[in-house]
Homo-oligomer: A and B are copies of this chain.
């Protein structure tokens, strides 16, 4: 059979198998798969360069299904490529199946999870940046986008960045099937609306009939030969294409076809075509940077105070020398986060993402697909902008490191919009995450090194203001541990716990309590998740109780992490948690710490309340 016939037949097979998988599951998105079936058939048969038997071959192209709900189409394609068999196809959406409702990397041919719209293209930008600037081999990145998701600002961050970076190894394919979940999109079949916007961002735009296999083939060919800018294929398609009962019909989104058998007949019945995807022509080895020996930053106890954000930058720059797979990204605040120190030392591995935090985190996810080790930084407050991307990075089983600087009321005059008082809560509630907050430059540096080796999402909060050095430069700090900074024997009366600035406040509180005849143990809970439980449990059993102070809202942060850890051990310790309970304003750091009730005075007062409660309780016995 001729190419055109084969491609048309293959498209029909992908439709039939999408219908079959969704019918077997009793749910799914067959109509959203059917609109894009010809686009995928031509791409896989004619243009993708991919070794199905070696999904991690560095020379492979990457295909990202930004419209993740079209998963039946992807799975139908994997069956045609011989990656999965028909039985597995029909396990779609069943408990235990790798073929989840939306794709995840449980399938080795899937780089990243999708299903939260607007993420595939910005992640594709990250992969294309990796190809262009890190790996330096000519793999292409193809991203199948829905038209509905073009309403997400993150898509336009991606268009903006890809145009600015001249990513000619990136092709976006917009499946303009006109219909969203509940009705028509803003632009319907107005292909120009998309082309105009993309061209304004420096892209080449090619409009095609998304069911004309020759036209699609031509468009992909033009995308491949276009240099110096990315290409978007804006394809007019029909949702549910090929089955009258659902074609271009409202109310047919996200459900199996009403009569699957009839639909399969209408589509020409089941087929068993084999799709042979061409292997990459290039066999080049990815570029690797040379390691260099550098001195690891060391800070002396009693030296000048150092901000942990500064130590972050110094450690990251040093790590980048010895670990050439480390890369850094920043959201146009590198002179504040001190990612600028990495940028100066390793300009080839630094990515300026401008004020586009969603694109920044997405790029980190894309870059780690190729086994680079990304660290992405901005103010802690502004990582909230990318929260959905962090959440999805966990579903992608991505290994990324995030740094949020300038958090807490301790930043002072800039005010609450800049304080990021929700970072512990929001980032603890990400599957498999670690949440760190050092109080000292040596500790910061040690944890930066540990972050590089940790799988999953690892977050560090750094502080704006300089702090005294508490620990020597050779001390070791593991993620999941804690440190007794003061006291530690059976004579301690009470425990004061904190992280970051509140460790220093707790130490001052301990001085004050000592003058009042009370011995306080001070715990540095720098690893908020996983929390350093053993020192905590010891403190719970050995002292009258624990005061936990944090520069964070009372909900979901260190205080509750402590309570959870103690509850999991069945501890009945008395705990008082101090956090920021009223909306802060501007002021000096010490004024704001005092107003929030998390300074030394408040901590000492809480310790007295604990001891008083214990005395009363002992008296009652």
Q: Given B116, B385, B572, B576, which contacts A382 in the complex, CB threshold below 8 Å? A: B116
Contact with B along A364-393 (1 / 0, CB 8 A): 000000000000000001101101100110
Q: Establish whether residues A152 and B157, one from each chain, have CB atoms under 8 Å apart when the complex forms.
A: yes
Q: Which chain A residues numbered 407 to 438 have a C-beta less than 8 Å away from chain B?
A: 412-418, 421-422, 425-426, 428-432
**Cβ contacts under 8 Å, A559 to chain B:** 564
| Complex-state Cα separation, A193 to B163, whole angstroms | 11
The answer to whether A292 has its CB under 8 Å from any CB of chain B is no
Q: Establish whether residues A583 and B148, one from each chain, have CB atoms under 8 Å apart when the complex forms.
A: no
Q: Establish whether residues B334 and A117, one from each chain, have CB atoms under 8 Å apart when the complex forms.
A: no
Q: Establish whether residues A153 and B151, one from each chain, have CB atoms under 8 Å apart when the complex forms.
A: no
Interface-lining segment among A44-52, A55-63, A228-236, A351-359: A351-359
Q: A149-B355, A185-B354 are in contact. Are A395 and B583 (CB under 8 A)?
A: yes
Q: Which chain A residues numbered 81 to 121 have a C-beta less than 8 Å away from chain B?
A: 93-97, 99-102, 104, 106, 113-118
By beta carbon, the residue of chain B nearest A587 is B95
Interface-lining segment among A196-204, A219-227, A259-267: A196-204
Q: Which chain A residues numbered 337 to 366 have a C-beta less than 8 Å away from chain B?
A: 340, 354-356, 358-359
Q: Establish whether residues A101 and B156, one from each chain, have CB atoms under 8 Å apart when the complex forms.
A: no
The answer to whether A575 has its CB under 8 Å from any CB of chain B is yes
Q: Given B106, B583, B587, which contacts A585 in the complex, CB threshold below 8 Å? A: B106
Contact with B along A580-616 (1 / 0, CB 8 A): 0001011110011001000000000000000001000
The answer to whether A567 has its CB under 8 Å from any CB of chain B is yes
The answer to whether A561 has its CB under 8 Å from any CB of chain B is yes
Q: Establish whether residues B417 and A392, one from each chain, have CB atoms under 8 Å apart when the complex forms.
A: yes
Which of A193, A394, A555, A575 gathers the greatest number of chain B CB atoms within 10 Å? A555
| Complex-state Cα separation, A104 to B419, whole angstroms | 14
| Complex-state Cα separation, A456 to B30, whole angstroms | 41
**Cβ contacts under 8 Å, A185 to chain B:** 354
| Complex-state Cα separation, A170 to B106, whole angstroms | 47
Q: Establish whether residues B431 and A116, one from each chain, have CB atoms under 8 Å apart when the complex forms.
A: no
Contact with B along A268-305 (1 / 0, CB 8 A): 00000000000000000000000000000000000000
Q: Establish whether residues B417 and A395, one from each chain, have CB atoms under 8 Å apart when the complex forms.
A: yes
The answer to whether A68 has its CB under 8 Å from any CB of chain B is yes
Q: Given B197, B355, B567, which contacts A575 in the complex, CB threshold below 8 Å? A: B567
| Complex-state Cα separation, A332 to B595, whole angstroms | 43
The answer to whether A182 has its CB under 8 Å from any CB of chain B is yes
Q: Establish whether residues A355 and B180, one from each chain, have CB atoms under 8 Å apart when the complex forms.
A: yes
Q: Establish whether residues B417 and A116, one from each chain, have CB atoms under 8 Å apart when the complex forms.
A: yes
Q: A117-B355, A151-B356, A564-B559 are in contact. Are A102 and B426 (CB under 8 A)?
A: no
| Complex-state Cα separation, A182 to B341, whole angstroms | 13
Q: Establish whether residues A100 and B415, one from each chain, have CB atoms under 8 Å apart when the complex forms.
A: yes
Q: A117-B355, A425-B426, A429-B555 are in contact. Are A101 and B182 (CB under 8 A)?
A: no
The answer to whether A560 has its CB under 8 Å from any CB of chain B is yes
Q: A118-B355, A429-B425 are in contact. Are A332 and B102 (CB under 8 A)?
A: no
**Cβ contacts under 8 Å, A313 to chain B:** none
**Cβ contacts under 8 Å, A413 to chain B:** 25-28, 93, 101
Q: Establish whether residues B97 and A586, one from each chain, have CB atoms under 8 Å apart when the complex forms.
A: yes
Which of A185, A336, A567, A572 gathers the greatest number of chain B CB atoms within 10 Å? A567
The smallest beta-carbon distance between A559 and chain B, in angstroms, is 7
The answer to whether A31 has its CB under 8 Å from any CB of chain B is no
Q: Given B106, B340, B381, B425, which contacts A182 in the complex, CB threshold below 8 Å? A: B340
Q: Establish whether residues B577 and A564, one from each chain, have CB atoms under 8 Å apart when the complex forms.
A: yes
The smallest beta-carbon distance between A125 and chain B, in angstroms, is 12
The smallest beta-carbon distance between A581 and chain B, in angstroms, is 9
**Cβ contacts under 8 Å, A588 to chain B:** 95
Q: Establish whether residues A152 and B153, one from each chain, have CB atoms under 8 Å apart when the complex forms.
A: yes
| Complex-state Cα separation, A113 to B419, whole angstroms | 13
7 contacts between A and B (CB under 8 A): A27-B413, A94-B587, A96-B585, A151-B160, A182-B335, A554-B564, A559-B564
Could you list which residues of chain A lie within 8 angstroms of chain B, going by C-beta atoms? Answer: 25-28, 68, 93-97, 99-102, 104, 106, 113-118, 148-149, 151-157, 160, 164, 180-182, 185-186, 193, 196-197, 199-201, 332-336, 340, 354-356, 358-359, 381-382, 384-385, 387-388, 391-392, 394-395, 412-418, 421-422, 425-426, 428-432, 529, 552-557, 559-561, 563-564, 567, 570, 572, 574-577, 583, 585-588, 591-592, 595, 613
- Knowing that A153-B356, A160-B186 are A-B contacts, what are 8 other residue pairs whose CB atoms are under 8 Å apart, sorted by A's residue number? A93-B413, A95-B585, A95-B595, A152-B153, A182-B334, A387-B387, A556-B556, A572-B574
Can you list the 9 inter-chain pairs with the closest CB atoms, starting with the nearest?
A153-B153, A115-B417, A95-B587, A556-B556, A425-B429, A101-B415, A422-B429, A156-B156, A563-B563
